[in-house]
Structure 1
Amino acid sequence: MAKNLRKDEAVLCAMQLIQKNGGEMHIRDIKAEMENSFPKNDYERGRLKSDGSLRWYNQLLFHSIRAYKSGFIQKNKGVWHLTPEGEQVMKLSLKEFSDALHKGYNKWLAKKKKAESTPQSIEEEDAVVETEIDYEQASNQAEEGFRSYIAALNPYEFQDLVAALFRGMGYYTPFVAPKGKDGGIDIIAYRDALGLEFPRVKVQVKHYPNNPVSADVVRQLRGTLSHEGESGVVVTSGSFTNDAKSEARSSHRAITLIDFSLFVSLWIEHYSKLSDEDKKRLPIAPIYFVKPTVG
């Protein structure tokens, strides 16, 4: 019981960090924060013989599945989101939190078994959980590969990468800012070769892999959208502050924010439509493995 309580404490710590971060947080950042803020004994700081991963981190991933199945958190491409139910359960004591975690998971498990014609054995259930962990770790590893590659680019290389993505999405990019002052616009994209069709898109590119883009950048872009039919896009190799997201939502001109995760998703989605030259800017290859079912 004490061991389970300890592991559930790690999940609670992760959820508290997510809450402090505005309700969402990448697992990479959760891990980095917990490296320092969550006390660990020698055993927990050790590594697994099977794959060399940190024992405490592996346990966090394993037990976070209970929080996910209970509806306390959501996971999307490495980003963990705190749900309203999760915010409520965090108000409980650690013992009550642990009980709610196990009760929620068992409720999901009972519902799942009821829907199955042949219920899974305990060993099969454990195998499913292990598959989910493997899938999450593989997804995170793939994302880190993208992150390292893109972070190593200089600002103009990243700008060219963004322009390539727009071309892959079917846009023409008659203007990509040369080195020097760009007047706040890095890329102009049209749907047709002459720029007669709407929308005409003005793109601001920020190569900030380690710092979130502020609301000021969104306001500056909005100030350049002076004609009807113009839309704005801010693309970053990192993330956006909550104020920046709010500023984009409330803008009277359409402004879309593309953070690192969305950029990677769009690159993968449109990769087959890129020219051979543009593919060389960020070459990728698909690797297929079994994805756990959600339910």
Structure 2
Amino acid sequence: MRKLIYIFIAVCLMSIQGCDDGDIITVELDFEDEFSACEGVSDLVFYKTKDDPSESLSVLISNYTLDEILATGTDGTFSVEKSATFYYRTYSDESLPSTLFCNDIPEEVTISSSESDDCTAEIITVLTKDDEDGILAILEDINGNGDLTDDDTDGDGLADYIDWDDDGDNILTEDENPDPNGDGDLEDAQDTDGDGIPDYLDADDDGDGVLTRDEENDSQDQRPNNDITNSDVGADYLNPAVATTVSATAYREHTIYETYVVTVTLQDISLSFLSQDSFDFGVLSDSSLTSSESITPDFE
């Protein structure tokens, strides 16, 4: 939570309250860490509001769009500094409507006071991708060099951290018990054949000489887990007594989840009650920042 308290010798804040020279006034800006965004005809607005008392902080950037700050480069990052106008407002209303910004101000809303200041908005965007396979991305650095993009266990063109079937056996990683107790320690990952390679990285889970993806004896649907010869043992790919080969012809479709994290820092703010070189405005909260894409790797 952004909680800032400023005490200053009275410079009357418009109509917030009357005061005499020499009075000491405490202004408390108590806002959540997250902020919202909306676009006008040609402007981008970042804002946050609160009730009791009703206040808002907003940042106006002219001739700019949300799409522009989401245009990350090949490294998944974007940063820019833009001239902006910072607003602090108080309202007579006990609570504020959700449509307060980027719309005509509703008639029932009365602004008690308003202050604005020209400043610089530093915007940083980081795009993160993940397969949500039950393993933290940082733990999918198999070669330990700190670079997640060059770890591709099955060689299908998708790095393990965005590949929800790391070993390419058409059994999803999350279904191969990579972290049975969910403690983030993969030392207890399921290893059916005891060969020291956990199932989620083992192309032949039961060690019978037949690749897991080729053990589709009932139906070739890229799902070996529903091919069961002996129900007492389970799926054929985990049963070393069944070693029938039915060659796979395709990988399963993969889903990659993308999340943009946008932070804004304001530089050189100077209001009547606030002078600060740097102010952390927070993290953008917007449903458009999370999306997913589906990819089916080429089968070789």
Short-chain TM bin: under 0.3
In the superposition, the TM-score normalised over structure 2's length comes to 0.23
Which has the greater radius of gyration?
Answer: 2
Q: What TM-score comes out, normalization by structure 1 length?
A: 0.23
In terms of fraction of residues, the more strand-rich structure is: 2
